[in-house]
Amino acid sequence: MALPPGNSPLHAATPIVIARNLNSPTSLVMHDGYLYVAEGSSIARMALGNDLQAGPVQRIITDLPLGGQHWTRTVLIGPDNHIYVSVGSSCNVCIETDPHRAAIWVYNLDGSGGRLFAKGLRNAVGMAVNPWNEQIWADVNGRDYLGDNEPPETVYALVDQGDYGWPRCNAGSLHDPQFGQAPGACDGVQKPLITMQAHSAPLGLAFYPLDASQFPASYRNSLYIAFHGSWNRSIPTGDKIVRIPLSNGNVAGPAEDFLTGWMNGDGSYRDRPVGITFAPDGSMFISSDQDGLIYHVWYAK
């Protein structure tokens, strides 16, 4: 669906349906006149004009594994004009038999030439291109049942043929009690750019646009992440938007709360943030999956 701007930032105009009959769509990206949509087991592509009239749906990648414990699929067009697709693990912690699982694959724009790009990523839901250095950054949901504070949630820079450790090594250095008993279990594993509170469930992430100025200056050089919220923790956490300060595209400090208030005092949720994107002016949009809402966040000068 497209949500055209309304008469004020408070409300959108009437939504427009672009495409129907998709199979569990969970992410999308526009590139060179096409809309790419990640479905349960495929990547769909359709031509999209300025009038928002879409052409026929073409499924250009069709061999993604369906379902599993982590069933969302994330699609991104990289700065090299290739399609990057993230598929989460089928389990909390296990040895996968399908190389698409717990990994990111890369394809040509027509869906051909697919190959493994990065592995050992338990559930990399959020992916975005760092506008300073054109690296692809991803946030990763750590495994469960290791206590309230382990392993931490992470953000990584993706490198071709990078090994990110799961299931034997968590967060770059923590040996897994089930699969990481070998002394060298974490050897050669990529290190996270930043670690964050365990069991926060980071999902969408977005860099503040370099040429935007709607937010105050101190909030611009930043990476924003949606924490969906925990279930595997004695004291619930997450359910908020956090900001990671950056300097020239590098992490410059710990994650800090940016937008909170969705968690009740008893740990229940009023709503649960999922995706983040920015409008051209630099105001923020957040999707949520509990009440099916889109939030528009801007700075009132």
CATH number where 39 lies = 2.120.10.30
* Matching residue, tokens 């506008």: 131
**Three-state secondary-structure class, residue 217:** helix
Q: Bridge partners of 175?
A: 169
* Statement to judge: residues 221 and 274 lie in one domain: yes
* Statement to judge: residues 245 and 272 lie in one domain: yes
Domain end residue (candidates: 193, 227, 258): 193
The answer, yes or no, to whether residue 288 has pLDDT greater than 90, is: yes
* Statement to judge: residues 122 and 259 lie in one domain: no
* Statement to judge: residues 31 and 169 lie in one domain: yes
Altogether, the residues listed in the chain come to a count of 301
Query: What local confidence, expressed as pLDDT, does residue 67 receive?
Result: 93
User: Is residue 1, in this structure, part of any structural domain at all?
Assistant: no
Q: What is the C-alpha separation between 47 and 55, in angstroms, rounded?
A: 5
- Tell me which of 153 and 266 has the higher pLDDT: 153
Token readout for 147 is: 């206590």
* Statement to judge: residues 115 and 145 lie in one domain: yes
Q: What is the C-alpha separation between 140 and 195, in angstroms, rounded?
A: 10
User: Is residue 4, in this structure, part of any structural domain at all?
Assistant: no
- Those residues whose C-beta lies under 8 Å from the C-beta of residue 235, and which sit 6 or more positions away, are 148, 267
Query: Are 125 and 72 within 8 A, CB to CB?
Result: yes
* Statement to judge: residues 166 and 56 lie in one domain: yes
User: Is residue 2, in this structure, part of any structural domain at all?
Assistant: no
Q: What is the C-alpha separation between 112 and 60, in angstroms, rounded?
A: 8
* Statement to judge: residues 208 and 169 lie in one domain: no
Domain end residue (candidates: 193, 218, 247): 193
The answer, yes or no, to whether residue 89 has pLDDT greater than 90, is: yes
Q: What is the C-alpha separation between 136 and 121, in angstroms, rounded?
A: 14
Confidence band (pLDDT; 50, 70, 90) for 267? Answer: confident
User: Is residue 29, in this structure, part of any structural domain at all?
Assistant: yes
Closest CA to 2 of 54, 55, 64: 54
- Those residues whose C-beta lies under 8 Å from the C-beta of residue 267, and which sit 6 or more positions away, are 235, 236
Domain end residue (candidates: 138, 172, 193): 193
Q: Work out whether strand 115-119 and strand 162-163 pair parallel, antiparallel, or are unpaired.
A: parallel
* Statement to judge: residues 61 and 173 lie in one domain: yes
User: Is residue 100, in this structure, part of any structural domain at all?
Assistant: yes
Query: Are 100 and 76 within 8 A, CB to CB?
Result: no
**pLDDT digits 0-9 by tens, 90-126:** 999 999 999 999 999 999 999 999 999 999 999 999 9
* Statement to judge: residues 105 and 167 lie in one domain: yes
**pLDDT digits 0-9 by tens, 14-58:** 999 999 999 999 999 999 999 999 999 999 999 998 888 899 999
* Statement to judge: residues 37 and 184 lie in one domain: yes
* Statement to judge: residues 130 and 208 lie in one domain: no
Query: What local confidence, expressed as pLDDT, does residue 111 receive?
Result: 98
Cα 189 to Cα 8, 62, 90, distances in angstroms = 48, 30, 21
**pLDDT digits 0-9 by tens, 163-203:** 999 999 999 999 999 999 999 999 999 999 999 999 999 99
Domain containing residue 245: 199-301
**Three-state secondary-structure class, residue 116:** strand
Query: What local confidence, expressed as pLDDT, does residue 142 receive?
Result: 97
Predicted TM-score (pTM) of the model is: 0.97
HSE (CB half, 13 Å, CA atoms) of 188? Answer: 9
Total number of domains in the chain? 2
Q: What is the C-alpha separation between 194 and 219, in angstroms, rounded?
A: 18
